[in-house]
Structure 1
Amino acid sequence: MAETALSLENLEKFKKEFYSNDKNVLAQNVCSRVDPFDVSLSRKVLEETQHVFSNKIESEGKPMTNQKSSGRCWIFAALNVIRLPFMKHHQIEDFEFSQGYLFFWDKIERCNFFLNNIVKTARRAEPVDGRLVSFLLSSDLVSDGGQWDMIVNVIKKYGLMPKKNFPESFSCESSMRMNAILKSKLREYAKILRELVCKGGSDADVNALIKEQMSNIYRIVAICMGIPSEKFTWNYYDKNKVYHTVGPITPVEFYEEHVKAHFNVDEKVCLVTDPRPTNEYGKAYTVDCLGNVVGGRNCIYNNQPVDLLLDLTSKSISDGEAVWFGCEVSKRFASKQGIQDCKVHDFNLVFGVDIQTTLSKADRLYYGESSMTHAMVFTAVNKDENGVVNKLRVENSWGEDRGEKGYLIMTSEWFKEFTFEVVVDKKYVPEDVLKVFQQDPIVLPAWDPMGTLAQ
Structure 2
Amino acid sequence: MSQITNEMTAKFAEAFKENNKHNALARSVIKNGISASAENFETQANNVPVFSVDLATGKVANQKQSGRCWMFAALNTFRHKMLNSFKLKDFELSQNYTFFWDKYEKANYFYENVLATADQELTSRKVAFLMQTPQQDGGQWDMIVSIFQKYGVVPKSVMPESSNSSNSRDLNNYLNKLLRKDAVTLRSLVAEGKADEEIQKAKEDMLQNVFNFLAMSLGTPPTEFDFEYRDEDKNYHLDQHLTPQSFFEKYVGVNLDDYVSIINAPTADKPYNKSYTVEMLGNVVGGKDVKYLNVDMSTFKKLAIAQLEAGESVWFGCDVGQSSTRESGIMALDAFDVNDLFDINFTMTKAERLDFGESLMTHAMVLTGVDIVDGQSTKWKVENSWGEKVGDNGFFVASDEWMDEYTYQIVVRKEFLTPEQLAAFEAEPTVLAPWDPMGALA
TM-score where L is the length of structure 2: 0.98
Query: Are 1:301 and 2:292 matched, yes or no?
Result: yes
Distance 2:195 2:31 in 1: 62
Distance 1:318 1:191 in 2: 52
Pairwise CA RMSD: 1.1
Pick from 39, 42, 52: which aligns with 1:44? 42
Query: Are 1:379 and 2:368 matched, yes or no?
Result: yes
Query: Are 1:90 and 2:78 matched, yes or no?
Result: no
After superposition, residues 31-70 of structure 1 pair within 5 angstroms as: 31-57=29-55, 59-62=56-59, 64-70=60-66
Pick from 107, 128, 132: which aligns with 1:134? 128
Cα deviation for residue 210 of structure 1 reads: 0.8
Q: Which amino acid aligns with 1:18?
A: F
Q: Kindly, what percent of the aligned residue pairs are identical?
A: 38
Cα deviation for residue 413 of structure 1 reads: 0.8
1:284-317 Cα deviation digits (max 9, x unpaired): 1111111000111111121111211101111111
Distance 2:199 2:389 in 1: 49
Distance 2:395 2:356 in 1: 31
Cα deviation for residue 55 of structure 1 reads: 1.2
1:225 aligns with: 218
Pick from 144, 156, 169: which aligns with 1:151? 144
Distance 1:36 1:116 in 2: 45
1:244 aligns with: 237
Give the secondary-structure state (helix, strand or coil) at the position aligned to 2:368. Answer: strand
User: Unaligned stretches of 5+ in structure 2?
Assistant: none
Pick from 335, 344, 358: which aligns with 2:335? 344
1:7-31 Cα deviation digits (max 9, x unpaired): 1111111111112122222222122
- Tell me if the contact between 1:61 and 1:80 (Cα under 8 Å) persists in the aligned partners: no
Distance 1:164 1:101 in 2: 11
Give the secondary-structure state (helix, strand or coil) at the position aligned to 1:394. Answer: strand
Give the secondary-structure state (helix, strand or coil) at the position aligned to 1:32. Answer: helix
Cα deviation for residue 360 of structure 1 reads: 1.2
2:411 aligns with: 423
- Tell me if the contact between 2:260 and 2:292 (Cα under 8 Å) persists in the aligned partners: no
Give the secondary-structure state (helix, strand or coil) at the position aligned to 1:126. Answer: coil
Distance 1:398 1:142 in 2: 22
1:208-245 Cα deviation digits (max 9, x unpaired): 11101111111111111111111111110011111001
1:147-171 Cα deviation digits (max 9, x unpaired): 0000100000000100011000011
After superposition, residues 190-209 of structure 1 pair within 5 angstroms as: 190-209=183-202
After superposition, residues 258-273 of structure 1 pair within 5 angstroms as: 258-260=251-253, 263-273=254-264
1:179 aligns with: 172
- Tell me if the contact between 1:56 and 1:318 (Cα under 8 Å) persists in the aligned partners: no
- Tell me if the contact between 1:327 and 1:375 (Cα under 8 Å) persists in the aligned partners: yes
Query: Are 1:108 and 2:104 matched, yes or no?
Result: yes
Cα deviation for residue 443 of structure 1 reads: 1.1
1:390 aligns with: 378
- Tell me if the contact between 1:65 and 1:397 (Cα under 8 Å) persists in the aligned partners: yes
1:400 aligns with: 388
After superposition, residues 23-38 of structure 1 pair within 5 angstroms as: 23-38=21-36
Query: Are 1:327 and 2:318 matched, yes or no?
Result: yes
Give the secondary-structure state (helix, strand or coil) at the position aligned to 1:4. Answer: coil
* CA distance 1:202–1:440, shift in 2 (3 Å): farther
Q: Which amino acid aligns with 1:60?
A: T
Distance 1:238 1:309 in 2: 37
Q: Which amino acid aligns with 1:318?
A: E
Q: Which amino acid aligns with 1:371?
A: L
Distance 2:273 2:187 in 1: 38
1:365 aligns with: 354
